Amino acid sequence: MEKKRALDFQKDVIPVVLKYMEGLKYGSVTLVVQDGKVIQIEKKEKIRL
């Protein structure tokens, strides 16, 4: 049962990553993985003048 919960959680990561990428002109989206699971998503945006 634990395996199924992990898979459901991982499937939820993709929409979040796509949302963070939306409108991002310069920057990065970083996934932090621990024990094969995404535990953190970081968004860094740069503004070029």
What pLDDT digit, counting tens, does each position of 1-49 carry? 455 555 566 778 889 889 989 989 999 999 998 888 888 999 999 998 8
Backbone angles phi, psi at 40, to 5 degrees: -155, 145
Of 2, 1, 29, whose CA–CA distance to 16 is shortest?
29
What is the C-alpha R_g of the chain? 13
pLDDT of residue 48: 86
d(CA 49, CA 47): 6
pLDDT of residue 23: 85
pLDDT of residue 1: 45
